[in-house]
Structure 1
Amino acid sequence: MENLTPKKEDYLKIIFELGGTQKKVTNKQIALSLNVAAGSVTEMVSKLVKDKLAEHTPYAGISLTHEGIKVAEELVRRHRLWETFLVSALGYKLQDVHSDAEVLEHIASRNLMDHLDTFLGHPTHCPHGGVIPDKSGNYQEDSHQVLADANDGQEVVVDRFIDNHDLLLYLDDIELQLGDRLHILGHAPFEGPVKIKVARTGQETNVSFKAAHYIFVK
């Protein structure tokens, strides 16, 4: 699409990542993920609706249209292939890849992306667990259950993280990894942290309310 600004692309990618291909995503989720004011989200969502890339239902949220999904899949594919390359071939730290992948995805031709995909061995997931659509747009749907919504006493496995620099730094700090099996010990009231026990280390730790909304589990 000709009139896609980098900012619009960021919104399409985050709506895709939060599950907007199948369900409604709230303005609040988008604002938290992109670290922007609620007013900015409202403004951008109305632009995406005008471009027929998203649908908005008052009080329910935003989902992507068929056209919006196609555009988002292409953007996500480019971004995540570059992230995979930066981590696996150039030794980037996971929390440092996003901004450079963002630059690279805008200058790459489709031909280059297909060659990069082949070079990487056609990966199906990026380093933080998100799906990478293949060149025909096929991929296995991500888990959209967030840690914050897991029940006390439940056992879950960390499936993926939202691609957010501060979140990835935070997870590095509390030593939480993809594939970790967690036992949910409890949710503190008033948007307090979620207390978990990590099977791999036997450690009990608290995950902040905000972070618990950007860790997807299954």
Structure 2
Amino acid sequence: MTPMKEDYLKIIFELGGTSKMVSNKQISQSLDIAAGSVTEMVSKLVEDGLATHTPYAGISLTDEGIELAEQLVRKHRLWETFLVDKLDYKLSEVHEDAEQLEHVTSDKLTNSLSDFLGNPTHCPHGGVIPTADGVYQQYSHIMLSELEDGDVAVVDRLADNRDLLTYLDQIDFDLGDKIKVISHAPFEGPITVQLLSEKNGEEQREVSFKASHYVFVIPEADK
């Protein structure tokens, strides 16, 4: 299994490909890879029995693909947690080093690392961390981009993308923020949201159209 294939499995898992179809465009944007390269790798994953693909609908992981993705995500997110909690990395800094570490981490080291960290269930950007047996809480697949004006939600999870995390840090938009959608600018413009917490005094943020597809939320009605 090449590191590139592993990255695809992880991002498909991240985008909800265990229970729904994920588009090639989402994968392309998340990995910052040309659409043609995504199509080629998706075909390889299907040939390996790790994914299924439906033209014009998207890709989802098979049972075998899900099991492998869970193992990879577990290693990656445990290292992210270690780097943030123990070495004071910024959230936007952890992905590259965690990526390197996960590829050389044995199952024994993974389990020891989990025990050392207190067996965390979520990484610093809200992603679930599967147990050694593949158990984890279900996570939100609802994107900020899917909300309508007036909807209220809590930011539950951020996609594992360095540029995204850097951008959200710059506009001071955080995991756990309770938000109300104010407006959607036309022609793929930003989404304006109001922060509904005492610390921000109901300030507003403009979240870019692209970023809004990689911020996952729990609508107030679903909590």
State the TM-score, normalizing by the size of structure 2: 0.95
Between the aligned residues of both structures, percent identity stands at: 63
Q: What 5-or-longer segments of structure 2 have no aligned partner?
A: 219-223
User: Paired residue for 1:194?
Assistant: 191
2:62 paired with 1:65: yes
Moved over 4 A (4+): none
Q: Shift of residue 72 of structure 1?
A: 0.2
Q: Quote the RMSD (CA, aligned, Å).
A: 0.6
2:81 paired with 1:84: yes
- For residues 14-53 of structure 1, what are the structure 2 equivalents within 5 Å? 14-53=11-50
Give the secondary-structure state (helix, strand or coil) at the position aligned to 2:52: strand
2:146 paired with 1:140: no
Q: Shift of residue 56 of structure 1?
A: 0.2
Q: Shift of residue 153 of structure 1?
A: 0.2
* 1:177 alignment partner AA: D
2:136 paired with 1:103: no
User: Paired residue for 2:173?
Assistant: 176
* 1:173 alignment partner AA: Q
Q: Shift of residue 108 of structure 1?
A: 1.0
Q: What 5-or-longer segments of structure 1 have no aligned partner?
A: none
The C-alpha deviation readout for 1:121-154, integer Å capped at 9, x for no partner, is 0000000000000011000111000000011100
* 1:98 alignment partner AA: H
Q: Residues of 1 paired with 2:203 and 2:167: CA distance?
A: 16
* 2:156 alignment partner AA: D
Q: Residues of 2 paired with 1:7 and 1:45: CA distance?
A: 11
Q: Residues of 2 paired with 1:69 and 1:216: CA distance?
A: 20
User: Paired residue for 1:217?
Assistant: 217
The alignment covers a number of residue pairs equal to: 215
Q: Shift of residue 180 of structure 1?
A: 0.3
Q: Residues of 2 paired with 1:47 and 1:165: CA distance?
A: 26
* 1:11 alignment partner AA: Y
